Protein backbone atom coordinates (compact mmCIF):
# COMPACT_ATOMS: atom_id res chain seq x y z
CA UNK A 1 0.00 0.00 0.00
CA UNK A 2 1.47 3.40 -0.94
CA UNK A 3 2.40 5.89 1.78
CA UNK A 4 1.69 9.18 0.00
CA UNK A 5 3.57 12.40 0.76
CA UNK A 6 1.20 14.97 -0.78
CA UNK A 7 3.29 17.95 0.37
CA UNK A 8 6.37 16.58 -1.38
CA UNK A 9 4.42 15.81 -4.56
CA UNK A 10 2.85 19.27 -4.54
CA UNK A 11 6.31 20.81 -4.19
CA UNK A 12 7.61 18.80 -7.16
CA UNK A 13 4.56 19.72 -9.26
CA UNK A 14 5.03 23.44 -8.57
CA UNK A 15 8.80 23.83 -8.13
CA UNK A 16 10.43 26.62 -10.10
CA UNK A 17 14.11 27.48 -10.42
CA UNK A 18 14.92 31.11 -9.66
CA UNK A 19 17.07 33.09 -12.12
CA UNK A 20 20.58 33.32 -10.69
CA UNK A 21 20.74 37.04 -11.47
CA UNK A 22 17.82 37.61 -9.05
CA UNK A 23 19.59 35.94 -6.10
CA UNK A 24 21.27 37.98 -3.40
CA UNK A 25 22.42 37.77 0.20
CA UNK A 26 21.94 36.27 2.56
CA UNK A 27 23.05 32.95 1.15
CA UNK A 28 22.91 29.87 3.34
CA UNK A 29 25.55 29.64 6.04
CA UNK A 30 27.69 26.54 6.20
CA UNK A 31 25.41 25.21 8.93
CA UNK A 32 22.31 25.88 6.80
CA UNK A 33 23.96 24.41 3.71
CA UNK A 34 25.02 21.09 5.26
CA UNK A 35 21.53 19.49 5.29
CA UNK A 36 20.98 20.60 1.69
CA UNK A 37 24.27 19.00 0.64
CA UNK A 38 23.37 15.86 2.59
CA UNK A 39 20.03 15.67 0.79
CA UNK A 40 21.75 16.26 -2.56
CA UNK A 41 23.92 13.18 -2.12
CA UNK A 42 20.92 10.87 -1.62
CA UNK A 43 20.71 9.97 -5.29
CA UNK A 44 20.76 6.76 -7.32
CA UNK A 45 24.34 5.51 -7.24
CA UNK A 46 24.67 2.08 -8.79
CA UNK A 47 27.58 0.20 -7.31
CA UNK A 48 27.90 2.76 -4.49
CA UNK A 49 30.73 4.42 -6.41
CA UNK A 50 30.02 8.01 -5.34
CA UNK A 51 31.05 9.31 -8.79
CA UNK A 52 30.75 12.94 -7.76
CA UNK A 53 32.07 15.46 -5.29
CA UNK A 54 31.12 18.98 -4.26
CA UNK A 55 33.07 22.22 -4.19
CA UNK A 56 31.36 24.99 -2.23
CA UNK A 57 32.36 28.35 -3.70
CA UNK A 58 32.01 31.28 -1.33
CA UNK A 59 32.38 34.95 -2.33
CA UNK A 60 36.21 35.18 -2.36
CA UNK A 61 36.46 32.03 -4.51
CA UNK A 62 33.78 33.35 -6.87
CA UNK A 63 35.62 36.66 -7.23
CA UNK A 64 38.82 34.77 -8.06
CA UNK A 65 37.00 32.67 -10.69
CA UNK A 66 35.44 35.77 -12.26
CA UNK A 67 38.94 37.22 -12.67
CA UNK A 68 40.12 34.07 -14.50
CA UNK A 69 37.37 34.20 -17.14
CA UNK A 70 38.63 37.03 -19.42
CA UNK A 71 42.00 35.43 -20.19
CA UNK A 72 40.42 32.04 -20.95
CA UNK A 73 37.74 33.69 -23.08
CA UNK A 74 40.40 35.53 -25.07
CA UNK A 75 42.46 32.37 -25.53
CA UNK A 76 39.40 30.54 -26.83
CA UNK A 77 38.09 33.40 -28.98
CA UNK A 78 34.87 33.68 -26.98
CA UNK A 79 32.83 36.73 -27.97
CA UNK A 80 32.37 39.67 -25.59
CA UNK A 81 28.73 38.93 -24.63
CA UNK A 82 29.50 35.33 -23.65
CA UNK A 83 32.63 36.47 -21.84
CA UNK A 84 30.72 39.04 -19.77
CA UNK A 85 27.94 36.55 -19.00
CA UNK A 86 30.54 34.08 -17.67
CA UNK A 87 32.25 36.78 -15.59
CA UNK A 88 28.88 37.87 -14.14
CA UNK A 89 27.94 34.28 -13.29
CA UNK A 90 30.77 34.23 -10.76
CA UNK A 91 31.18 37.94 -9.91
CA UNK A 92 27.52 38.52 -9.02
CA UNK A 93 27.04 35.31 -7.04
CA UNK A 94 27.39 34.91 -3.30
CA UNK A 95 27.30 31.11 -3.04
CA UNK A 96 27.68 28.44 -5.71
CA UNK A 97 28.06 24.72 -5.29
CA UNK A 98 30.02 23.12 -8.10
CA UNK A 99 28.86 19.55 -8.55
CA UNK A 100 31.82 17.65 -9.96
CA UNK A 101 31.29 14.50 -11.99
CA UNK A 102 34.11 12.15 -10.98
CA UNK A 103 33.52 8.78 -12.68
CA UNK A 104 35.21 5.73 -11.19
CA UNK A 105 36.57 2.74 -13.10
CA UNK A 106 33.96 -0.01 -12.96
CA UNK A 107 33.26 -3.20 -14.86
CA UNK A 108 29.64 -3.14 -13.71
CA UNK A 109 28.56 0.51 -13.87
CA UNK A 110 28.95 2.30 -17.21
CA UNK A 111 30.33 5.82 -17.14
CA UNK A 112 27.06 7.23 -18.52
CA UNK A 113 25.22 5.99 -15.41
CA UNK A 114 27.80 7.73 -13.25
CA UNK A 115 27.37 10.96 -15.22
CA UNK A 116 23.61 10.66 -14.77
CA UNK A 117 24.10 10.16 -11.04
CA UNK A 118 26.07 13.42 -10.89
CA UNK A 119 23.20 15.17 -12.73
CA UNK A 120 20.85 13.75 -10.10
CA UNK A 121 23.00 15.40 -7.42
CA UNK A 122 22.49 18.73 -9.22
CA UNK A 123 18.72 18.36 -9.33
CA UNK A 124 18.54 17.08 -5.76
CA UNK A 125 20.56 20.04 -4.49
CA UNK A 126 18.45 22.46 -6.50
CA UNK A 127 15.24 20.96 -5.11
CA UNK A 128 16.59 20.79 -1.55
CA UNK A 129 17.51 24.48 -1.67
CA UNK A 130 14.10 25.44 -3.07
CA UNK A 131 12.29 23.26 -0.53
CA UNK A 132 14.26 24.97 2.25
CA UNK A 133 13.00 28.35 1.03
CA UNK A 134 16.10 29.55 -0.81
CA UNK A 135 16.22 30.69 -4.39
CA UNK A 136 18.34 28.41 -6.53
CA UNK A 137 19.39 27.87 -10.14
CA UNK A 138 21.43 25.23 -12.01
CA UNK A 139 23.82 26.82 -14.50
CA UNK A 140 26.73 25.70 -16.64
CA UNK A 141 28.06 27.72 -19.59
CA UNK A 142 31.22 27.46 -21.64
CA UNK A 143 33.52 27.77 -18.61
CA UNK A 144 32.03 24.56 -17.22
CA UNK A 145 33.23 22.69 -20.29
CA UNK A 146 36.68 24.27 -20.60
CA UNK A 147 39.20 21.79 -19.16
CA UNK A 148 41.88 24.43 -18.59
CA UNK A 149 39.50 26.71 -16.66
CA UNK A 150 38.20 23.78 -14.60
CA UNK A 151 41.72 22.58 -13.80
CA UNK A 152 43.13 26.02 -12.97
CA UNK A 153 40.06 27.51 -11.32
CA UNK A 154 38.66 24.53 -9.45
CA UNK A 155 41.50 22.04 -9.32
CA UNK A 156 39.59 19.38 -11.25
CA UNK A 157 41.48 16.16 -11.79
CA UNK A 158 41.90 14.22 -15.02
CA UNK A 159 38.57 12.67 -16.03
CA UNK A 160 36.50 15.04 -13.88
CA UNK A 161 34.03 17.59 -15.20
CA UNK A 162 31.47 20.06 -13.91
CA UNK A 163 27.98 18.55 -13.85
CA UNK A 164 26.47 21.85 -12.76
CA UNK A 165 26.97 25.10 -10.89
CA UNK A 166 24.16 25.45 -8.37
CA UNK A 167 23.60 29.07 -7.35
CA UNK A 168 21.84 29.46 -4.00
CA UNK A 169 20.71 32.66 -2.29
CA UNK A 170 17.79 34.83 -1.33
CA UNK A 171 15.29 35.51 -4.08
CA UNK A 172 14.73 39.22 -4.77
CA UNK A 173 11.84 38.94 -7.22
CA UNK A 174 9.18 36.31 -7.79
CA UNK A 175 9.97 34.10 -10.73
CA UNK A 176 7.23 34.22 -13.33
CA UNK A 177 5.61 30.95 -14.28
CA UNK A 178 6.57 29.64 -17.66
CA UNK A 179 4.97 27.16 -20.05
CA UNK A 180 5.57 23.57 -19.04
CA UNK A 181 6.05 20.52 -21.25
CA UNK A 182 2.92 18.93 -22.69
CA UNK A 183 2.75 15.53 -20.97
CA UNK A 184 0.47 14.02 -23.60
CA UNK A 185 2.68 15.12 -26.49
CA UNK A 186 5.76 13.59 -24.87
CA UNK A 187 4.36 10.36 -23.44
CA UNK A 188 3.62 7.01 -25.04
CA UNK A 189 1.50 4.47 -23.20
CA UNK A 190 2.15 0.87 -24.23
CA UNK A 191 0.12 -2.07 -23.10
CA UNK A 192 1.97 -4.68 -25.11
Domains assigned to the chain: 20-170 (3.40.109.10)
Q: What is the pLDDT of residues 33-53, one digit of tens each?
A: 999 999 999 999 999 999 999
DSSP H or E run through 100: strand 95-101
Q: What is the pLDDT of residues 61-84, one digit of tens each?
A: 999 999 999 999 999 999 999 999
**Residue 41 labelled as part of a binding site:** no
**Residue 16 labelled as part of a binding site:** yes
The pLDDT of residue 153 is: 97
**Residue 142 labelled as part of a binding site:** no
CA 132, 161, 113 angle in degrees (round to 5)?
A: 80
**Residue 17 labelled as part of a binding site:** yes
Let me know if 165 is exposed, middle or buried by CB neighbors in 10 A (0-12, 13-18, 19+). Answer: buried
The pLDDT of residue 173 is: 83
**Residue 46 labelled as part of a binding site:** yes
Residues of the chain with pLDDT under 70: none
**Residue 15 labelled as part of a binding site:** yes
Taking a C-beta distance cutoff of 8 angstroms, is the pair 52, 40 a contact?
no
Could you give the residue ranges of the DSSP H alpha helices within the chain? Answer: 6-14, 30-40, 59-76, 80-91, 111-131, 147-154, 183-186
**Residue 138 labelled as part of a binding site:** yes
Amino acid sequence: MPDPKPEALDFLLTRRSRPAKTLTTPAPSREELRPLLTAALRVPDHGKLEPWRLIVLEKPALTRLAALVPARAEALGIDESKREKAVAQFRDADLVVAVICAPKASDKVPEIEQVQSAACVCLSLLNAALAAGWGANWLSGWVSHDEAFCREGLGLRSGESIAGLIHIGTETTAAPERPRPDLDALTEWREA
